[in-house]
Structure 1
Amino acid sequence: MNLYQTIFEVIDMRSFSNLWYWIALAVLWSATSHYVLGVPFDLVQKASKEGGEKQADIETLVRININRLLNIAEVTGLFSVALVCTGLTVLFSLGIFYSVEFAQATFLLAFPMCCVALMNVLTARKIRSETLQGAALFETLKFHRFKTQVIGMMSIFVTAMWGMYQNLVTGPLGG
Structure 2
Amino acid sequence: MDWTNTLFEVIDMRSFSNLWFWIALAVVWSSVSHWVLGVPFDMIQRARKNGGQAEADLHDMVRINVNRLLYIGQVSGLVLLLVLSFALTSLAILAFFYDVEFAQAVFLLAFPLTLVGALSLSTSQAIATQQPEGEALYARLSKHRVITQFIGMISIFVTAMYGMYQNLAVSPIF
2:5 counterpart residue number = 5
- Residue 133 of structure 1: aligned partner: 133
Where does residue 145 of structure 1 map in the other structure?
A: 145
List alignment gaps of at least 5 residues for structure 1.
none
- Alignment root-mean-square deviation, CA: 1.1
Show the counterpart of 1:59.
59
Give a deviation string over 1:85-141, Cα, whole Å, max 9, x none: 110000000010111000000000000000000000000000000011111100000
Q: Equivalent residue for 2:17?
A: 17
TM-score (norm 1): 0.97
Aligned to 1:37: 37
Query: 1:97 corresponds to which letter in structure 2?
Result: F
Partner of 2:71: 71
SS in 2 for 1:12: coil
Count of residue correspondences? 173
What amino acid does structure 2 have at the position aligned with 1:139? A
Q: Can you list the C-alpha shifts for 1:18-46, whole angstroms capped at 9, x where unaligned?
A: 00000000000000000000000011011
Find the residue that maps to 1:150 and give its secondary structure: helix
Quick one: distance in 1 between partners of 2:5 and 2:49? Answer: 57
- Does residue 159 (structure 1) correspond to residue 159 (structure 2)? The answer is yes
CA distance in 2, matches of 1:46, 1:71: 28
SS at match of 1:159: helix
For 1:86, give the aligned amino acid: F
Match of 1:107 in 2: 107
**How far apart, CA to CA, are the structure 1 residues paired with 2:79 and 2:100?**
27
In the alignment, what sits opposite 2:117? Answer: 117
Shift of 1:171: 1.3
Q: Which amino acid aligns with 1:41?
A: F
Matched with 2:47 is: 47
SS of residue matched to 1:171: coil
Taking the aligned partners of 1:63 and 1:127, their CA distance within structure 2 comes to 9
Residue 113 of structure 1 aligns with an amino acid whose one-letter code is: L
CA separation in 2, counterparts of 1:144 and 1:93? 31
Aligned-pair distance for 1:172? 6.2
Segments of structure 2 that go 5 or more residues without pairing to the other structure are none
**Alpha-carbon distance in 1 for matches of 2:17, 2:149:** 24
Deviation at 1:9, TM superposition (A): 0.6
Amino acid at match of 2:7: I
Instruction: Among all aligned residue pairs of Structure 1 and Structure 2, give the percentage whose two residues are the same amino acid.
Output: 56
Q: Name the amino acid aligned to 1:9.
A: E
Supply the distance in 1 between the matched residues of 2:49 and 2:81 (Cα, whole angstroms).
38
